[in-house]
Amino acid sequence: MDQEIIIALTKGRILKETLPLLAAAGIEPAEDISKSRKLIFETNQPDIRLLVIRGSDVPTYVKHGAADMGVSGKDMLLEIGGADLYEPLDLNISKCRLMTAGLVGKDLPQGRVRVATKFTNIAKKYCAERGMQADIIKLYGAMELAPLMDLADLIVDIVDTGNTLRANGMEPLDLIADVSSRLVVNRAAMKRKHARIQAIIDSLRVAVEAGIAEEKSNTEASAS
């Protein structure tokens, strides 16, 4: 079906906050995603299917046309490069900050600085813009451990409440970017399937402006 729409969704917290927006836009998975090991899901719309994949893969799937649309954190778009993607809508979900952080009260060394992060491209750009000579160390998790074990002087990571930093004797320093989840669209698909994709964008925009995701989150918080 040439007009079939494939939407790539990010696993985890972003998925949980995206589903109410999709439902408000009239798109619901045909089965409970949380109880399935499947990666491709039919929906109540015969021309729409959902992919559930890693957040770091969403921009790649959309960029290369394996998915027509996707939901991706702005951090991933900055890291991987979203210039080839159409980014029509900020979904205002999964908000956090991309920041540098270091040990409380510890000055940075003179000369080269060691920076631990999974966002290596963002870290390189950050350091270059500030004229900092840096060794970028790629890690996949537990960033806070790197300064504690003298592996790094700084980290670049997502900060939500900051509780994990404080628990490990660290503090947030420079804000690199405010992060939220964005709707992205393959540019060729936008031209070829414009009417259908634009209708989905418009429906999601109405849901975002109505605060559907925030309302759902508040309801669940009250219930717990």
Do 174 and 211 lie in one domain? The reply is no
Do 100 and 155 lie in one domain? The reply is yes
Give residue-wise pLDDT tens across range 201-212: 999 999 999 987
Do 155 and 89 lie in one domain? The reply is no
Tell me: pLDDT of 221 over 70.
no
Nearest-5° Cα angle at 221, 218 to 223: 110
Angle between helices 212-223 and 13-24 (to 10 degrees): 120
Give residue-wise pLDDT tens across range 3-60: 899 999 999 999 999 999 999 999 999 999 999 999 999 999 999 999 999 999 999 9
Do 123 and 12 lie in one domain? The reply is no
Do 80 and 130 lie in one domain? The reply is no
Do 47 and 72 lie in one domain? The reply is yes
Number of domains in the chain: 2
Do 116 and 170 lie in one domain? The reply is yes
Do 100 and 147 lie in one domain? The reply is yes
Report the predicted TM-score, pTM, of the whole model to 2 decimal places: 0.87
Do 90 and 9 lie in one domain? The reply is yes
Q: Provide the total of helices (H) and of strands (E) in the chain, helices listed first.
A: 9, 11
Question: Tell me, what CATH number does 137's domain have?
Answer: 3.40.190.10
Give residue 122's domain range.
96-178
Do 174 and 184 lie in one domain? The reply is no
